[in-house]
Amino acid sequence: MSEPDRRERGAGMSRGSRRRAVWIALPVATAVALLVLVLATRDSAFERKASSPILGALAPPVAGATITGEPFDLDDWRGRWVIVNFFQSTCVPCIVEHPELVAFDERHNAAGDARIVSVVFDDTVENVREFFAVHGGDWPVLATGAREAAVAYGVTGVPESYLVAPSGVVVWKQLGGVTADGIDDVIAQLTADP
């Protein structure tokens, strides 16, 4: 080994120093090790997705006027399965999803056991009217009170759908497009095993 310069080495050499340094280094090392452990076991933030707090909660109100000017209140449909569908006329996945909603509506329209209400998200009423004129579908589309509903359901983007059970509780949530069969499966499952 090299011979370190005396003076450079420093003067105060006390016997307890090394022990003290170890005592300081140990807790620091433990803390850093814990931090590394936590960081190493985290999933990527891109994959983490918090579950919605409104699942299992009483459905927030969906009330206001539809695009045809009729009053609407979700509570009037208590006792039925209800799909609350948030959409925007210009969003491509919404256009893709729409025929599925139409199919679902046709399946259940006669029996009246399940219904759909669409809620306009960040869009104009004219656009939405045109959207329904072009793509079909004949169910209430909430225009006024839509923003309150979207924020109350915690909508993060469109399309987004929530299934409200006959009891009035939100039981299922779908980010992105739904399919008619998909909803029916969920309903069947929940009916069989509530």
Q: Which residues bind other proteins (CB under 8 A)?
A: 1-2, 4-5, 7-15, 17-22, 24-26, 28-29, 32-33, 35-36, 38-42, 44-46, 48, 50-54, 57, 60, 88, 121-122, 147-148, 150-158
In whole angstroms, the minimum distance from the beta carbon of 27 to other proteins comes to: 10
Q: Which run of H or of E encompasses 170?
A: strand 170-175
Helices (H), ranges, 10-109: 15-41, 92-109
How far is it, in rounded angstroms, from Cα 102 to Cα 109? 10
In whole angstroms, the minimum distance from the beta carbon of 43 to other proteins comes to: 8
How far is it, in rounded angstroms, from Cα 13 to Cα 115? 82
In whole angstroms, the minimum distance from the beta carbon of 127 to other proteins comes to: 11
- What is residue 55's DSSP assignment? T
- Between 155 and 180, name the residue whose CB sits nearer to other proteins: 155
- Between 3 and 193, name the residue whose CB sits nearer to other proteins: 3
- Between 29 and 134, name the residue whose CB sits nearer to other proteins: 29
How far is it, in rounded angstroms, from Cα 67 to Cα 103? 21
In the chain, the amino acid numbered 179 is T
